[in-house]
Structure 1
Amino acid sequence: MSYASFTNLPASTESSARSVDAGRAVPARVGRNRLAVLLVLAAATEFLLVTVAAYSAAVLYHRVVLLSPPDAAKYIQESLLISALQLLVSMGLRQYSRIQTQTRHVFLWSGASAVFFVFAIFISTLFLLKVSEGYSRATIIAQAVSVLLTVLGTRAVWFSLLRSAIATGLIDARRIILIGDQGHCLKFSVRAMETGIRTIHSFDFPPVRTNASKPAPPSAVQARPDARQLVANCRPLRADDIVILPSEADVPSALALASALSDLPVDVHVLPVGSIDLMAVSRITPFGDMVTMRIFQCPLTPFNRAIKRAFDVAAAIAGLIMLSPLFVIVAVAIKLDSRGPVFFRQTRHGYNNEPIRVLKFRSMTVMEEGDNFKPVTRHDPRVTRLGRLMRHTNVDELPQLFNVLIGNMSLVGPRPHATAQNEVFAELISSFSRRHNVKPGITGWAQVNGYRGETDTLEKMQRRVEHDLYYIDNWSPLLDLKILVMTFFSRKVYWNAF
C-alpha cells in the first residue's frame, strides 16, 4: 500500500503535524491550546456581558420608566442566574465547540435560540418557585431584549476574531486527513482551505481484499479495504476529521473503510468524487421509514405561505387606502400628458410559471407584449415625459397592489419578467425557472441591491437571478421587512430606473 502526502509531512510522529498559513508554522498542540483559550475567553466574556446586560436593563427600566431606582442588590441574583443558564445551554448544545464548522449566521442564530430557551426556563423557574412577585413582565422583556442584543454582538465579534486568528496562523484550524486519489485530495484541500479547514496529510485509498472462499450474492458488499496500517498511520496525527473521497470504483468499500476508521477519536466523512457541489445543497432527511438525500425543497411551507399571504393582504389593503389620492392624481396626469388608457396590462410569468396579467400605470406611448415586447432602454423615445418620472420613482408599479390583493403577486419576491424575456433567458441560465417557485413581487432582493432595469447582457441577468435565488433559499418574514424598508430608503433601488 502506498501513501502520499502533498503537504510533505511525515506520518510517523505527532510533532510533524504542523498548521501552515501565511508563512507561519504553528505546532498542532500549540494551535489547539490557543483555540481552547480563545473559546474559554469567548464563553467567559459572554457570561460577564450577559450578567451586566440583564442587570442594567432591569435597573434602567426602573429608573427611566418607573422613576424609582431599585435597591442596589436587587436583580443581581436573577442576572447571574440568567447568565449561568445562558452559559449552560450554550455548552450543552456545544455551540462554542462547533464555531469552526459553522457559518456566521448559524452561530448567531444558535445564540438567539439559546436566549429564548434560557428565558423560557427563567420564567418557568420564577413561576414554580413563586418568587415572581415584584418582578414585572416589562422587566423580563427589557432583560430579554438586552441579553439577546448582547449575545448577538458578542458572538459576532468573537466569530470575526476566530476567523482572523485562523487566517493569520495564530491558532490551528480544523485539521483533516484526506483519503483518496491525490488529485482529488488536492482539489478538496484547496477548497477546504478557503473556509479555514487545514489538510495535514493525505493517503491513497487502501487496497481491497476479498474473501473468495465465501461467495456472497451480487448485492452484498464484499469489498473490505485493508485499513489496519492506515489506521495506525492516522492515529499519531491527531486530526479532527477524516474525509474519504472514494472514486466510483471505491464507493462499495467506502462504508467498510469508514467503519475501520471509527476506531479513531475523529469525525469520519464520506464525499464521493464529483459530488461536492451536489452535497453542498443537499440535506439528509427522513422519508417514511427511509432516509433520503434531499437536494431541493419547496421554498415555503404551507404555514410560511399563510403568514406571507396574511401580511400581503393586510399591507395591500392599507396601501391602497393610503395611496388612493395619489392614484387619482396620477390617473389625471396620465390622461393630460398623452393619449391612451391610464392602466397597462402585460402578460408575465407568475408562480409555477403560470401566466398572470400584471397591472401598471401606463408610462409609454406603446403597449407592447408577447413576441413584440422590447425592453426599455435609457432615453427610450417610447417613454412619455410623465412616464419617465413615474418609472424613476417606481410609481408606475403601484397598481400591482391589486395583483397582490387578488393573490397572483406578493409584496416581496422576484420581479416578473415579460414572457419574451423569460423564454430567452430560460434557455441560457439553467436555474432561471426556479425564480417562479414563489410568487413574483412588486419589489425584491435583486432590485434593492441595484439589479433592475436593462438586461442587455447575460451577466446582468445572471446577477439578478442569483439574488432572486438567494431570496428564495433564505426567505423569512424579517427578510421581507428588510427588503420593504430598503425599497423606500436605499439609493440602489433607483439605479438603472428609466
Structure 2
Amino acid sequence: MLKEWDHLPKYMQSEAVRPYYEKLKKKKISLALKRVFDVVMSTFMLIFLSPVMLIISIAVVMDSKGGVFFRQERVTQYGRKFRIFKFRTMVANADKLGSQVTVKNDMRVTKVGAVIRKYRIDELPQLINIMLGDMSYVGTRPEVTKYVKRYTPEMMATLLLPAGVTSEASIKYKDEDKLLEAAADVDEVYVKQVLPGKMQYNLESLIKFSFLGEILTMIKTVIAVIK
C-alpha cells in the first residue's frame, strides 16, 4: 500500500512525482489485490517449481565454480535496498570484471548461464523476493544504486511501487544486450540512451496502473519469452 505523502522520502516529495502518486492513491483496491496475488502465487510457484529449480541449481554448480545464486544489492519501493536472488549465469565475481549491465556475447556468461538467460529462467529465484515483499511480479526492474542516483526527479516516481520481475519496458527492451553490444562505454550508453526509454514505459504504466492490466503484462511476457 502507498505511504502518506508526508512519509515518503524527501527526494520523492516533488512536483514531478505528485501526479503519479495521486493516480496510484485512487487505486487502493488494485494495490491490495496486487499484493495478495504476489504472496499467494509466489508461494505456490516456489512449491510447484522446486524440482525444476533444484535441477537448475545442480547444473549451475557443475558448470562453473561459484555459488548457485547471484546476489546483488538493488533498489525497490521508496528507495529501500535489498539483495536480489537470481540463478548465477556468469563466472564468479563477474561484477568486478566488467559493467553491471550485460551485453550480447558477454564473455563472463557461462555455458549453462547462456541457456537459462535466453529463456529468462535465471529470474525464477526472484519468487523469493516477491514472497518477502522486496519485489512484485510486475513493476519497474530493480536497478543498482549507481543507476538510481542518475534518475531524474520524474523517474523517482517509479519507486512508489515495488520493483518487478517484468513490465512493459522489460518486454520492449528484452534484447537490450544487443543495443549495448557496440557501446564503448556501456554504463554511459545505458544511462543516457536505454534507461530513459525504459523509464518512459515505466512511467506510463504507473498512470495506467490496474490489477487486470498487470495480469495482461504477465501474459504478454510469457508470449514474448516463447517467441
- Please classify the TM superposition score into its range, dividing by the shorter chain length: 0.7 to 0.9
Q: Does 1:304 align with 2:34?
A: no
Runs (4+) of structure 1 exceeding 4 A deviation are: none
Tell me if structure 1 keeps the 8 A contact 2:94–2:108: no
Say if 1:486 and 1:302 are closer, same or farther in 2 by CA, change over 3 A: same
Partner of 2:148: 422
Change (3 A) 1:409 1:452: farther
Q: Displacement, 1:393?
A: 0.7
TM-score scaled by length of structure 1:
0.37
Determine the C-alpha separation between the residues in 2 that align with 1:452 and 1:436. 24
1:484 equivalent among 209, 218, 223: 218
1:121-154 superposed Cα distances (whole Å, 9 cap, x missing partner): xxxxxxxxxxxxxxxxxxxxxxxxxxxxxxxxxx
CA contact (8 A) 1:312 1:405 kept: yes
Which one of the candidate residues 340, 343, 359 is aligned to 2:85?
359
Q: How many residues align?
A: 199
- Higher Rg: 1
Instruction: Specify whether residues 473 and 369 from structure 1 end up closer, same or farther in structure 2 by C-alpha distance, changes over 3 A only.
Output: farther
**1:461 corresponds to:** 195
Partner residue in 2 for 1:19: none
Do 1:347 and 1:369's aligned partners in 2 also have CA atoms closer than 8 Å?
A: no
C-alpha contact (below 8 Å) 2:71/2:86 kept by paired residues: yes
Q: Is the 8 A contact 1:331 1:342 kept in 2?
A: yes
Residues 406-441 of structure 1: CA distance to partner in whole angstroms, max 9, x if unpaired? 111001111111222222x32xx4422222111011
Q: 1:323 and 1:306, CA in 2 relative to 1: closer, same or farther beyond 3 A?
A: same
Secondary structure (helix, strand or coil) at the match of 1:490 reads helix
Aligned to 1:387: 113
Residue 368 of structure 1 deviates from its aligned partner by 5.1
What is the TM-score when the length of structure 2 is the normalising length?
0.79
Deviation at 1:314, TM superposition (A): 1.2
Q: Which runs of 5+ in 1 are unaligned?
A: 1-277, 282-293
Using a 3 Å threshold, how does the CA distance of structure 1 residues 295 and 336 change in structure 2: closer, same or farther?
A: closer
CA contact (8 A) 1:363 1:384 kept: yes
Unaligned runs of 5+ in 2: 1-14, 181-185
1:119 aligned residue: none
1:193-232 paired onto structure 2 within 5 Å: none
Asked if 1:332 corresponds to 2:58, the answer is: yes
Aligned to 1:59: none
Distance 1:480 1:430, change over 3 A: same
Higher relative contact order (CA 8 A, sep 6+): 2
- What is the aligned partner in structure 2 of residue 32 from structure 1? none
- Alpha-carbon distance, 1:310 to partner: 0.4
**Structure 1 contact 373–420 (Cα < 8 Å) conserved:** no
CA RMSD of aligned residues (A): 2.5
Is residue 127 of structure 2 the alignment partner of residue 401 of structure 1? yes
Quote the offset at 1:295 in angstroms: 4.0
Whether 1:442 aligns to 2:168 is no
Q: Report percent identity of matched pairs.
A: 28
How far apart in 2 are the matches of 1:483 and 1:413?
10
Distance between the aligned counterparts of 1:443 and 1:295, measured in 2? Answer: 23
Query: What are the residue-to-residue correspondences of 1:231-270 with 2, within 5 Å?
Result: none
- What are the superposed Cα offsets for residues 84-127 of structure 1, whole Å, 9 maximum, x if unpaired? xxxxxxxxxxxxxxxxxxxxxxxxxxxxxxxxxxxxxxxxxxxx
Deviations 1:419-471 (A, max 9, x none): 22222x32xx4422222111011111101223563464322211100011111
Q: In 1, distance between residues paired with 2:59 and 2:208?
A: 40
Alpha-carbon distance between aligned partners in 2 of 1:332 and 1:296, rounded to the nearest angstrom: 44
Q: CA deviation at 1:395?
A: 0.5
Structure 2 CA distance, aligned partners of 1:349 and 1:305?
20
CA contact 1:349–1:419 (8 Å) conserved in 2: yes
Rounded Cα–Cα distance in structure 2 between residues aligned with 1:487 and 1:350: 21
